[in-house]
Amino acid sequence: MNIWPLGAEETQYLQLELTSHCNLACPGCERLANKNALPYLNTSYMHLDNVKKWFTIEKLPKIVQISYSGQIDEPLIHPQADKIIEYLAEEFPNTRMNVNTNGSTRNEKFFTRLGEISNKYRRPNGDKRLDVEFAIDGLENTNHLYRVGADWDKLMRNAKAYIAAGGLASWKFIMFNHNHHQVKKANKMAVEMGFHRFSYIASARKATERLGMNFIPNVIKGKRPNNPKAFGSMKRPPNAPKKVIPPKPKIHCKALERTDGRKGWLFVNHDGYMQPCCYFGYTHRSVDPLDNLHNISVEDYFETSPFLSGLMDSWETDKPNPICKQKCMGAGNRDSAITLLKNGEEAWHVNKNR
């Protein structure tokens, strides 16, 4: 039986799902697309007292990034969200932190407070450590088509309040058939409002593909010849060497080493369940329900979890865990992404960590 090679003391990336509540009904979300998630929706919050007990610098001394982004949550619905963020900012003074939000919850007073936290906690070079990423997929007439239930006016008031209070803000735009033509207008608006970064990405989710929403830019579609012989004869020359079958690609686990170079990933669900990454969803619960911070410490989880050992054992077989195979075999799955710079230039790249 294999033992997970990185322990709590080596983990660098902590991802938290603060709650199972959300105010929207996005069609590509796990809340609607995964029936296994249904029993857990709108049931619980990760309490501040538990956060203080579970996540300390003594237990996780090498954390450099904390992300508030779960599988089924809108993190800022959590009634103690600002207190949790501020506690972890103080407990882990060398971390960068990011919050992913639809921005259409709470009120201007709350987002002003969040902006003050972002402005207060800084790195030695003066950079703000907390970045709030607003998920805004279009403009006033389109954002609600995917972000079902979003309130545009509230979203704009909250974003402006956060930025006015000194908060570091990003705008992430998911491109669909109904909004792809608005990217440059949204980028211009983001610059005028004071967002420090604007990025957009083409949705690759199966749920939105089934609804006919996905948009694939021409530049990444690729071209296939109509004639299968367009590149010459398909027959093998008589003296050609035998085709060498390359070895099967190996699992390059992103939980052990992310593409940004950080090693060690810990994802914790709203009710304390631990996973090595955010990809496993709710299937893990039926595999080993003991991997929960209510029952086991984070240190013991990495050392004793049968689930982690089972993953590694599967990598040595012809049938690796299907999630590992999908996400981390060879190059893994990739989403085509774009960053639109303030000068209007487009930079195409591959976002491997979505």
* Torsion 231-234-238-244 (CA) sign: positive
* Alpha carbon distance 9, 7 (integer Å): 5
Burial track 246-270 (b if 16+ CB lie within 10 A, e otherwise): eeeeebbbbbbebeeebbbbbbbbb
pLDDT per position as a tens digit, 160-205: 999 999 999 999 999 999 999 999 999 999 999 999 999 999 988 8
pLDDT per position as a tens digit, 71-89: 899 999 999 999 999 999 9
Determine contact, residues 79/25, Cβ cutoff 8 Å. no
pLDDT at 222 over 80: no
- Bin 293: left if φ > 0, else alpha if -120 < ψ < 50, else beta: alpha
Say what percent of the chain tops pLDDT 70.
Answer: 82
What structural domains and CATH numbers belong to the chain?
A: 8-220+251-351 (3.20.20.70)
**Which among 27, 20, 324 is positioned nearest to 203, based on CA atoms?**
27
Half-sphere exposure of 204 (CA within 13 A, CB side): 14
* Alpha carbon distance 179, 181 (integer Å): 5
Half-sphere exposure of 180 (CA within 13 A, CB side): 14
C-alpha distances (whole Å) from 148 to each of 26, 108, 144, 183 are: 5, 21, 5, 19
Q: Write the single-letter amino acid at 301.
A: Y
pLDDT per position as a tens digit, 88-135: 999 999 999 999 999 999 999 999 999 999 999 999 999 999 999 999
pTM (predicted TM-score): 0.85
